[in-house]
Amino acid sequence: MLDLVHDVLKRAGGRGATAADAFLLEDQAFSAQVRLGQVDTVKHAREQHLSLRVFVGQSVAAASTSDLSRASVERLVEEAVSLARVTAPDALGGLPEAGDLARSIPSLDLHDPTGHDLAPEDKITLARRCEAAALETDPRITNSEGGDFADRQTRYAYGTSHGFAGEYETSSFSLSASPVASQNGQMQRDGWYHATRKRERLDAPEDIGRTAARRALRRLGARRVKTCEVPVIFDPEMAASLIRHIAGAAAGPSLYRGASFLVGKLGEQIASPAVTLVDDGTVPGALGSRPFDGEGLPVRRTVVVDKGVLTSYLLDTYTARKLGMASTHHAARDGSGVTVGTTNFYLAAGPTDPRVLVAGVKQGLYVTELIGFGVNGVTGDYSRGAVGMWIDNGELAYPVEEITVAGNLLEMFRAIEGVGNDLVFRDRTAAPTVLIGKMVVAGA
């Protein structure tokens, strides 16, 4: 694969590019969905993708293609170089300093060499067992959006005109179920999932299915509550969604454009002392790990918020130069160029059993699902639709829906009064249970 990357970089140089980088992605994927015990959809996919970024002097452009024929690659180079001739020069553009490039490529155990070998029928069986367990949990589980198994293996090769060349292989596996519960004419859907880099590490299909069923069942009989201002507890999945908003606001592109509520806040207390946020791309076998970033810089562990103090932004080379800082090695690639992305991003576990957090709330909301896009990244203003359980005298009393939770992300993070000890990595971004002292819940 690196041969093709070297070849396209050489051709770019021949066409007048003064610097360039390129990556090649090869992907093989399978997915199976079973619904009510019957195979619903099975998908096989094979994809490849070559992406080139060229600099002509201080101007830059990018091009990509899924056609790797000689003629098509030649056209790719031509188009990238001619596009770079119409873009405006930018003195801060360019590849990272050669001295900063990763010198060795760590082995992070991201590939499962045998996990994909399972026959399609056996993969379908995993999806079927997962869904069946959900359906058998309770007679009120009456329908299903299905059980799903998916696996994917990806080979990625990246090279630059100033000497970096690296490649790696990754695997991913996921299993999920989405049952529908019904009672008294009301239907409620929920789901549960697991994703890993090793097939053997997937939770048992029956465990996933039963959890999905319990989640759907506990929503039955949901009602609205009156508008009020109360403590709000976010379950681990929803707490993870909150820290994603912090990652977005701490990312270089939003900062230099002034489009972030964290502009100028480096070194300041932006959250309660209970909050420590870490991004760590070096964890062996983890879903967000990678041996080097999108510009060939070595990945590392970055403390973004330390006991409430904003200690680092998330930057690639260009946005770091714009802000007069150094890259934090968070470059990610898409076909159009370089963006910023997290690796394994998490809220460090706190000392408290999540049940104790709930027990300490007299009247409040326990949030298990959020919908909608009501987050303003410039101001931090926050307003989303919520589903969850009402807390009455320290107990999860009854399900609630058709309500919203609203506040401002900075105020919400400062108002975090408790962090659970229940941090589990189910995804690239993870958090334990979080208690926010006060938020507005709008309802009837």
Partner 1 sequence: MLARPERFFEDRFGLSASALDRLLGSELAGRVDHADLFLEYRVSEELVLEEGAVKKASRHVSQGAGIRAQSGERTGYAHTDDLALPNLEEAARQARAIADSASSSAVVAVSGGKPHDLYSLAETPITAALDRKVKLLGQMDAAARAADPRVRQVIASLGSEDVVVLIATPSGWTVGDVRPLTRLNVTVIVEENGKREMGGYGGGGRVPFDFFLEQERWRHYTSEAVRQAVIKLHAVAAPAGELTVVLGPGWPGILLHEAVGHGLEGDFNRKGTSAFSGRLGQQVASELVTVVDDGTIANRRGSLNVDDEGNVTRRNVLIENGILRGYMQDRLNSRLMGMAATGNGRRESYAHPPMPRMTNTFMLAGQDDPADIIRSVPRGLYAVNFGGGQVDITNGKFVFSASEAYLIEDGQITKAVKGATLIGNGPDALTRVSRVGHDLKLDEGVGTCGKDGQSVPVGVGMPTTRIDGITVGGTQV
Site for partner 1 in 197-216 (CB under 8 A): none
Chosen residue from 5, 11, 64, 101 binding partner 1 by CB under 8 A:
64
Q: Which stretch binds partner 1 (CB under 8 A): 7-15, 76-84, 165-173, 293-301?
A: 76-84
Chosen residue from 120, 273, 284, 351 binding partner 1 by CB under 8 A:
120
Q: Which stretch binds partner 1 (CB under 8 A): 58-66, 125-133, 297-305, 348-356?
A: 58-66
If one asks whether residue 263 binds partner 1 (CB under 8 A), the answer comes out as yes
Residue 121 phi/psi, 5-degree rounding, is: -60, -35
Q: Closer CB to partner 1, residue 265 or residue 307?
A: 265
If one asks whether residue 336 binds partner 1 (CB under 8 A), the answer comes out as yes
If one asks whether residue 183 binds partner 1 (CB under 8 A), the answer comes out as no
How far is it, in rounded angstroms, from Cα 434 to Cα 46?
41
If one asks whether residue 219 binds partner 1 (CB under 8 A), the answer comes out as yes
The CA–CA distances, whole Å, from 188 to 129, 177, 221, 290, 404 equal: 21, 14, 9, 38, 18
User: At its nearest, how many Å lie between partner 1 and the CB of residue 264?
Assistant: 9
If one asks whether residue 422 binds partner 1 (CB under 8 A), the answer comes out as no
Chosen residue from 13, 16, 48, 309 binding partner 1 by CB under 8 A:
48
If one asks whether residue 443 binds partner 1 (CB under 8 A), the answer comes out as yes
- Token readout for 288 is 């967000």
Chosen residue from 97, 227, 326, 355 binding partner 1 by CB under 8 A:
227
Q: Closer CB to partner 1, residue 114 or residue 379?
A: 379
If one asks whether residue 305 binds partner 1 (CB under 8 A), the answer comes out as no
b/e for 59-79, b at 16 or more Cβ within 10 A? bbbbbbbeeeeeeebeebbeb
**Touching partner 1, residues 379-398 (CB under 8 A):** 379, 381, 383-385, 387
What residue has token string 């303003």?
Answer: 376
Number of residues in contact with partner 1 under rule CB under 8 A: 81
If one asks whether residue 282 binds partner 1 (CB under 8 A), the answer comes out as no
How far is it, in rounded angstroms, from Cα 70 to Cα 126?
41
Q: Which stretch binds partner 1 (CB under 8 A): 107-115, 201-209, 237-245, 251-259?
A: 251-259
How far is it, in rounded angstroms, from Cα 338 to Cα 316?
8
User: At its nearest, how many Å lie between partner 1 and the CB of residue 240?
Assistant: 18
Q: Closer CB to partner 1, residue 386 or residue 435?
A: 386
Are residues 19 and 95 in contact, defined by beta-carbon separation less than 8 angstroms?
yes
If one asks whether residue 415 binds partner 1 (CB under 8 A), the answer comes out as no
